Amino acid sequence: MNNPPNLEILKKLKFDFPYFARNALQVKDKSGKLVAFDLNRSQMFVHERLEAQRKRTGKVRAIILKARQVGCSTYIQGRFYHKICYASQQSSPQAFIMTHASDSTNALFSMTKNFAECHSVIGKPTIDTSNAKELKFMENKGSYKIGTAGAKEVGRGMNNQYLHLSEVAFWENGASHVSALMQTVGDDPGTEIIIESTANGMGNLFYDLTMSAIDNKNNFEVIFMPWFWYEGYATVPPKGWHNNIPHAWQDYGAQFQLNYAQLYWASEKNAIMAASIGASYDEPCWTFRQEYPCTLAEAFVSSGNSYIPPHLVAKARKPEEEVLPNGPLIIGVDPSRNKDKTGIISRRGRRMGKEICIRLDPEGSTEYVSQYVAQLIRDWNPKMVNIDVTGVGAGVYDNLLAWGHGHCINAVNFATKSSIRNPDGSPKYANKRAEMYGEMLEWFNQDMPVQIPDDDTLQADICAPEWGNGKTSFTTNGSLQLESKDKIQERLKRSPDLGDAAALCFAVPIESMMSFNNSPVAITRGKPKNSMTGY
């Protein structure tokens, strides 16, 4: 006669997920071998945070910002499988999983099927339906369904209790997908929505959701795990390696208290990623910092293949000492087109945005923008106001000219030719817009510190143009061609107004030579720009 099951064990299996995972589920290790699902440090941290929120609020609403392959998706799949296994009879619990790519979707779904097949203790559910899109349980009519983000909305009309949205930062049409899927989960106790992703720069849906959660503007809780929490990210270095660690890596290791095995693993991983983008091996490159962040802030400011490197902009947001705003006052004005906003920002020498840094919503009113800029001219007496006149800005320029401000306003057409040449005489930039962004990059990259407002939107706009095919690249004659504003707007679903306004501050080569006490002296036009001031 068989002994009855131990009630204490059954209770632990039902209410203690780490115990259930360790004793009932199996996952594949790096070699492909099936092993017990024993939660690692990152997975246990996520579990504890989610359980604390569930006990506090009755439900789970979480955004997880993670490094690559720390086991976050595996944990969520196991968690939802456990929830469905122990749901009440005839409760019909529904779980839906959506990822950014079909291969990722299939991999997660295969993991769930593997859980069901290898479930090794009492309570194993009977599978009623198992196909490429759905796994359905017989006893409680629970089910798993999957989808892939794309041009067509997926998931409308469903009624889910558990929702897992994976790698949201890389979703096509992310805003419409997330909005639709959120509506499939009620605000009932026991429901769970978990959004997770590695970072993909600022100015996208995942970034906006994360920042809103941090600012308590939604009911989601942000969870972050650094890469070095994962035990697998460590390799014993060769003998003597620690005697020749580059200074940047020494500082990196000291900052995050990494041991030599972690630091060697990071440097080796970085070497491969740096080679792919032509970056130095001697310091962590942006791609490594994006996929293996140590802090939440680093994940966003380091990510994205931006023409102007995000780490330079982040450094300018918080310089070690305040930079004095000396030199002639230049104001960049990027008037709105269609549904854009108007970006306006100032610059004096190595300081940007001290006087003004604003995005206006004039609702199509050229008169409103003209009046606003005219008031700035009266208040600040700028040396020059550079206005983008490729669109409605021509009307702003005409108004200001008619009102007697012709002494300081300058019409800038982004599409005109650049006058700056390479040493061989060929054009350095394909047009004026590329020139302005190129000169702004040099400004950020100079030896002397520069300072800009500590503002996420400004950084996102400045870093909006990206390298790549059809984006920022070099033409056949070696000229830099910047990613078009229309393509950026299509990708970000908004216009980089403040970025273009900041670039306009570099439209005219005005040099401001500084005296020893950092006060402006002679101002001239037409000379080569000073490497420290950027003029």
Tens-digit pLDDT profile for residues 158-178: 889 999 999 999 887 888 889
Q: What band does 151 get if pLDDT is binned at 50, 70 and 90? A: low
Which CATH architecture describes the domain 7-225?
3-Layer(aba) Sandwich (3.40)
Confidence of residue 519 (pLDDT cuts 50, 70, 90): very low
The interaxial angle of helices 17-24 and 41-57, nearest 10 deg, is 140
- pLDDT at residue 424 is higher than 90: no
Query: Comparing 270 with 155, which gets the higher pLDDT?
Result: 270
What distances in angstroms separate CA 425 from CA 355, 422, 429, 535, one per listed residue? 38, 5, 12, 22
In order, the DSSP letters of 8-45 are HHHHHHHH-HHHHHHHH-EEE-TTS-EEE----HHHHH
CB 516 within 8 Å of CB 528: no
**Does the pLDDT of residue 520 top 70, yes or no?**
no
Question: Looking at residue 138, what is its pLDDT?
Answer: 67
Segment 33-68, tens digit of pLDDT: 889 999 999 999 999 999 999 999 999 999 999 888
| 525 pLDDT higher than 50 | no
Q: How far apart are CA 122 and CA 151, in angstroms?
A: 43
371: its two tokens: 């009046």
pLDDT bucket at 303, cuts 50 / 70 / 90: low
Phi and psi torsions of 217, nearest 5°: -100, -5
Q: Is the pLDDT of residue 522 over 60?
A: no
- The region of weakest confidence among 19-23, 61-65, 390-394, 396-400 is 390-394
Task: Tell me the pLDDT band of 9, cut-offs 50, 70 and 90.
Answer: confident
Rounded to an integer, the average pLDDT of 269-277 is 88
Q: Which of 270, 236, 225 is nearest to 67 (CA)?
A: 225
Give residue-wise pLDDT tens across range 351-369.
Answer: 999 999 999 988 778 999 9
| Alpha carbons 250 and 488: distance in angstroms, whole number | 37
pLDDT, position 431: 95
Going by pLDDT thresholds of 50, 70 and 90, the confidence category of residue 529 is very low
Mean pLDDT (the chain) is: 85
Lowest mean pLDDT among 77-86, 111-120, 172-181, 233-242: 111-120
Domain spans of the chain? 7-225, 241-304, 329-525
329-525: what fold? Nucleotidyltransferase; domain 5 (3.30.420)
Task: Provide the Cα torsion 304, 305, 306, 311; round to 10°.
Answer: 70
pTM, to two decimals: 0.69
Which residues, at least 6 apart from 387, have a Cβ–Cβ distance to it below 8 Å? 333, 335, 373, 393, 396, 397, 400, 409, 410, 411, 412, 504
First and final C-alpha spacing in the chain: 91
How does residue 155 score in pLDDT terms, banded at 50, 70 and 90? low
- In this predicted structure, the answer to whether residue 336 has a pLDDT above a threshold of 70 is yes
Q: Answer with the residue of higher pLDDT: 125 or 224.
A: 224
CA distance linking residue 201 with residue 220, whole number of Å: 20
User: What confidence score (pLDDT) does residue 462 get?
Assistant: 93
Q: What is the pLDDT of residues 99-142, one digit of tens each?
A: 888 887 778 877 777 787 777 766 667 766 666 677 777 677 78
Give the H/E segment covering residue 269. Answer: helix 260-277
pLDDT at residue 449 tops 60:
yes
Lowest mean pLDDT among 40-54, 136-150, 447-461: 136-150
Whole-number Å distance between alpha carbons of 387 and 410:
6
* % of the chain exceeding 90 in pLDDT: 45
* Most confidently modeled range among 273-277, 325-329, 384-388, 516-520: 384-388
Above 90 in pLDDT, residue 189? yes
Q: 451: how many CB neighbours lie within 10 A of its CB?
A: 20
**CA atoms of 226 and 22, how far apart (whole Å):** 24
* pLDDT at site 329: 96
Burial 121-130 (b: 16+ CB within 10 A, else e): eeeebeeeee
Is pLDDT above 80 for 512? no
Task: Please check whether residue 408 is in contact with residue 382, taking contact to mean a CB–CB distance below 8 angstroms.
Answer: yes
pLDDT reading at 534 higher than 70: no
- Rounded to 5 degrees, what are φ and ψ at 370? -60, -45
Closest of 56, 53, 295 to residue 193, by C-alpha: 53
Per-residue tokens: 449 = 């510190």
Q: Per the structure block, which two tokens stand in for 187?
A: 């605000």
Q: Is 458 helix (H, G, I), strand (E, B) or coil?
A: helix
Position 4 scores a pLDDT of 57
Task: Count CB neighbours of 136 within 10 A.
Answer: 18
Separation CA 489–CA 485 (nearest Å) = 6
Range in 220-229, 274-283, 383-392 with the lowest mean pLDDT: 274-283
**Portion of the chain with pLDDT greater than 70, in percent:** 88
494 or 381, which is more confident: 381
Give 33's contacts (C-beta < 8 A, 6+ positions apart): none
Whole-number pLDDT of residue 344: 97
Q: Shortest CA distance to 437 belongs to which of 257, 306, 529, 301?
A: 306
Least confident interval from 74-78, 318-322, 501-505: 318-322
Evaluate whether 7-225 and 329-525 have a shared fold: no
SS3 letters across 193-253: EEEEECCCCCCCHHHHHHHHHHCCCCCCEEEEECHHHCCCCCCCCCCCHHHHCCHHHHHHH
Residues facing 334 on adjacent strands: 343
